Chain A
Amino acid sequence: MASQAILGELKEKLAGGAKSACVSHGVLVLEIDPAAVGATALLLRDELGFDLLLDVTAVDWLGQTPRFEVVHHFYSTSRFVRVRLKHRVPEEDPTSESLTGLYGAARYMERECHDMYGIAFRGNPDLRPILLYEGFLGHPLRKDYPKEREQPLVPYRR
């Protein structure tokens, strides 16, 4: 498989800057230091041809420290491979670096991630709610968010 060879080559190039690197189910997975997000994304976009930011999300590993794992997916439209960047952010300071300067697509995706997990992206000027509404309390995809909770309603909706 050609993509396996490309992923192997990318792994060699990127493994130095990462805590761990492996190829899993056809995706190169890199665990990186939170401080290295911007630099790694810049390297991916400008030198390795990853021109599409596919997705920004997070996983809440309740009970582990650091608690949140922020996950980015990138795709290269010239080499047809995907890279997953993962880094952990602590519960006390759930902030991560924004990629809005590199990819326009990051704007909405980071807003969603902020809605759902309360992760603030430094450098994203617009973290207004996108799927939720103004005044929604809490972050629903956190594992400790009670599913049954009722929200304060917007007055005229009553």
Chain B
Amino acid sequence: MTEPVSEKLPNPIRPAFDRIEGEELTVVSIGPSHPATHGTIQIIAALDGEKVVRADVHCGYLHRGFEKECEDHTWHNLIPYVDRLNYCSALINNFAYCGAVETLWGIEITPRCRYLRTLLSEYARIADHVTCIGAIFMELGAMTPFLYLMTLRDYIYEHLANLTGARITHSYGRIGGLARDLPDGWLERLEEILREYEVFVGRAHAMMDRNRIFIDRTRGVGVLTTAEALDWGFTGPILRSTGAPRDLRKDTPYLAYAELDFEVPVGIQGDNYDRYYVRMREMDESVRMIRQLVDLLPEGPVNVGDHRCSFPEKRLVYSEIESLIDHFKLVMEGPRAPAGEVYVAHEASNGELGFYVVGTGDGRPYKIHVRAPSFVHMGGMHRLLEGYQLADVVATFGSMNMIGGECDR
């Protein structure tokens, strides 16, 4: 049944300002679908000539009721949903969500699973940063390095498809483990891709780092101080670009990060160029971590084999009654996670990705809230736009790496 259309609604959004009294300003609406930006976001900007005087950022165009839907599905069923939060690095979302449920349960994952999750998180981070940097290049008109980086990303996606069966939305995490172990030859191909990484990212460095046009568009544009970044809740590469070496992988080590040797790259002045460069350096550190993890990777099972949450092997489901019952119960009723609430945060490629999970001992969560870095970043983005040129909106927005899926949920 459709309710009557309200006549009072000329526009789905209400901008913070229509016109600014007493000043000769032009108000323009950029987006939600604008050829110069990626992602669906609307920026209402008041312009004085070419200069942005005030900006009002609206998101929500990709809102699909993720949190409401979570309350209606079993704990396992949510794994494909969390893929679609930050779809550029779906594995990190998988592992953060599974980590939250495991913390609620008090499940300790197996050593092989712990190292594999760390390795795949870093691998996904490279894919995400490559996408973000490639998009910045493309939006500033540099098509060639964009294609180089997309080629690399495609190698990574195909390689992950070999492992998980899907290029982008992998659904590879499981509560208490992973969907499956590595296929044969996967680590050898990984090393090949890491060597390709050096070639392709080296080309991007060579073409862009000292490129006059790129520097003019990014140096000194969208400048942010550490104090402001913290006030607006910024985390991840944006906070680090201001010079603060804050990284959850170092500060509150989770998974296997405590055993790895890596640096936290920081920027100098928190402008677009620093945000670009911090991401480039972070990828180098990720490669370093992946190589250490390949050496550290122990043998053993990837799943805890706890019948409260892990699915039994398919072979057993078809041959013995206990496994069949387990399987049936897990699918139909869902694993009964204990009552309680947890907040677990992982350092995703955009910043702190937190899952606040409330359970009441049922097979479904009572509430799931995602602390999505992109949403928080959009809350403070107007600060980075005001005072700069209209054309800088494109460069600054690119360097924030807004991902609609996690911003709007």
Binding site for B on A (CB under 8 A): 3, 24-25, 27, 51-55, 57, 59-60, 71, 73, 75, 77, 80, 82, 84, 103-105, 107-109, 112, 116, 126, 128-135, 137, 140-141, 145, 147, 150-155, 157-158
Q: Which residue of B lies closest to A51 (CB)?
A: B230
Q: Which residue of A lies closest to B235 (CB)?
A: A52
Selected contact of B2 from candidates A27, A71, A132, A150, CB within 8 Å: A150
In the bound complex, residues from chain B placing their C-beta under 8 Å from that of A141 are 67-68, 367
In the bound complex, residues from chain A placing their C-beta under 8 Å from that of B246 are 77
In the bound complex, residues from chain B placing their C-beta under 8 Å from that of A150 are 1-3
In the bound complex, residues from chain B placing their C-beta under 8 Å from that of A53 are 233
Contact yes or no, B356 A128, CB < 8 A? no
Contact yes or no, B9 A80, CB < 8 A? no
Q: How far is the CA of A147 from the CA of B67 in the complex (A)?
A: 12
Q: Which residue of B lies closest to A153 (CB)?
A: B5
Binding site for A on B (CB under 8 A): 1-14, 16, 58-60, 63, 65, 67-68, 72, 103-104, 228, 230-233, 235, 244, 246, 251-252, 340-345, 352, 354, 356, 358, 366-367, 369, 371, 375-376, 378-380, 408-409
Contact yes or no, A71 B356, CB < 8 A? yes
Output the least CB separation between A114 and chain B (Å).
13
Q: How far is the CA of A73 from the CA of B355 in the complex (A)?
A: 11
Output the least CB separation between A77 and chain B (Å).
5
Selected contact of A108 from candidates B340, B366, B379, CB within 8 Å: B379
Contact yes or no, A54 B371, CB < 8 A? yes
Given known A80-B251, A133-B13, A147-B72, contact A55–B59 (CB-CB < 8 A): no
Output the least CB separation between B105 and chain A (Å).
11
Closest A-B pairs by Cβ, 3 of them? A105-B233, A108-B379, A133-B12
In the bound complex, residues from chain A placing their C-beta under 8 Å from that of B380 are 104-105, 108
Q: How far is the CA of A135 from the CA of B5 in the complex (A)?
A: 10
Q: How far is the CA of A54 from the CA of B7 in the complex (A)?
A: 39
Contact yes or no, A152 B1, CB < 8 A? no
